[in-house]
Structure 1
Amino acid sequence: MMNPITKLLHQFEFPHENGDAVVPPILASSYFTARSYEEWAERGGKNDRLRIGQPDNPTVEILEQKLAVLENGESCRCFASGPAAIAGTILAFVKSGDHVLCMQNVSPLARPLFREYLPRFGVEVTFVDGSREADIEQALKENTALIYLESPSPSLFSMRDLRAIAGIAQSRGIITAIDNTWATPLFQNPLDHGIDLVIHSSVEYLSGHSDMEGGAVIGSMDKVKQIKEKGADVHGAVLSPVQAWFMLRGLRTLAVRMRRYQQSSLQIARMLQDHPAVEEVYYPGSPDYGQQELADRYLRGFSGVMSVALKGTEAHVKRFVNALRLFRIGGGWGGYNSTVTPLGPDSLNDAGEMLVRLSIGLEDTEDLKIDLLRALDHALTGKGGDHLE
């Protein structure tokens, strides 16, 4: 069987149709025309490519086909952003009067949808930890239509038992959807474990260059068709061919980048775990990770994002963050450059620790370790905080 990486690089690209070009072109057309009245009459109402504003652009189609293969799915729909992918998916399967079960500690980009917008339109949302099957079953209701989760979760990077959750949902006819952005299709394939729909934000690892916005959902043919008819396509939250081209470019180096992220992050996690200024490292690849059995069951590797709880007060966290030279302060992650994000109250663990999120980039690993050690020493002592030249 062909390796998924080889499929990613070669499938669905037809150079003979594009002048033997190695890279597929950007067909930046907002709509496509018919060649005759008869063709318009025959295909106009059925072929999306002939409908103004619809997303079946050839450049976007290549991207969707590649993502479906990577996630072992039948079909994919791309969106203008990660939040659009989440909203388009949920709105396609949920209506007023339904109940949604959402795992706690989901992405900040998803929280407003579940906490504010769905309740405004008559959809009840219950948040549950989800680490125990009994808690999930107890939270379900007769009108539960969908279960939404992230695994590993953001901030604390806790795992969920995907097969168990999928089994519970399937026995009751409930749709399951998961955000798989952290793991990427290279390190985890939730569809293989019974989850119905896999969602990705493209601005992180899939594109990898921090220069485009996009999202995607992958699943069975019928479920993605429902999303097309009732989700993104209705509201116009579709991906442009230019953004699709940028994402195709990023996918070509996904495997190489993910191996580098993992290599650096495993070393850094081990180093941080033993530092006297660090209370705990939250990372599935950490030596002391508390859910190793679930990580071994579902993950084939580890990406480059982790959270660190520092000892001391907020002043120690401020000193640490401000002393970093190579880690830029910001909310973005998954790109080529390293970032540090001070996390807010929603990300606190049970112990109330203040967390910082580290996104390990493609810089030299030793340079990143030196930068972190120097900032940690400054957090402890208040000395040596000037940026290195």
Structure 2
Amino acid sequence: MTMTQDPAAPEGFEVQGNTQLDMAGEERLYQQLKRFWQPVAFSDDLTDSPHQVTLFDTRLAVARLDGEPHVFSDICRHRGSALSLGRVDGCWLRCAYHGWAYDAEGTVVDIPARPELNGKLTAQLPSYPTIEAGGLVWTCISGETPRFGPSECPELDDPSYRFLRFDPYEWDCSVARRLENYFDFSHFAHVHHGILGDRDEAEIADYDVARHGSELRITAGPFIEYTDNVKNSAVNHDGLTYEAWKRYRVYMPNAMKLNSSAGVTEDFVLYVAVAPVNRRRTRCFTFVGRNYALDRDQEFHDMQYVILGQDQPIVESQRPEELPVDLTAEMHVKGADAGTVEYRRWLISIADGEIELAPTA
């Protein structure tokens, strides 16, 4: 590990303790992330056809067999073709190449060319624990009991909210780079000027950050936002701006939920879970919801893509693509960067194998 304390740093730039990983630490973190639940598909997308997904550079087949989601190695044990090109046959996954079929445990149950061999092969198709939570299908490929639980979004089940689900997308960055962008408050006024902030009013007030169980909880604000932004369209306000409060639940290590005020009772929700395609590429699953302006889906849809389009070139330009390896030039502003600094500290603990729940009282 390398320390980030810079004795030459001017007043106002402060990081206490370890917030960087050396190259060996980065690799440890990548390997430790395999011990956590990772999102692989939207639940609604998993119907009667298998899906291919790459997770930790491993090709997987995701399928719903007899109504339940399952995740397997995407390599048929016969000739190595992709099982995700096959089909769901009742409670079996059947290969497209020679028709071999596997049950939910990965056992070969049907060999059409030699039916007398059915039930006699001992070779298993690798399969992985799979659950559904928060509108997503999750898996864990470590071979161990998954650490922490998957993320939650209770508002998805609340009939007073309307949600949009966005197609999965991939960015050229690490999971940590992608996730911390959401609660990097200093960038709102500059990258999202005129939407989520004003570059002429860019000061960030101190805010609350605390670990709670497997979550990092952040409450921050007020942030200057514009009332002609569809997010704040419900606000009865005579001026051009609105002061929004933001409440984050960062589900360690790879998901977060934001509740952002858009009035007295109006609540805007952004729920995101991310998974490593490989060390430097990340797949993102996104839900956007609100309990107001329920008839304005297109505007909320378009706004989200504007925000993503502004963030993507910035995040993908960051070097290193993973969180800092041994670059001591990356400085942290006291107070303003408190959320991202605490997130990094927790990731470093995870890299060191210290995977423990924080107190909840």
TM-score if structure 2 supplies the norm length?
A: 0.30
Q: Which has the higher strand share?
A: 2
Q: Which has the higher helix share?
A: 1
TM-score if structure 1 supplies the norm length?
A: 0.29
Higher relative contact order (CA 8 A, sep 6+): 2
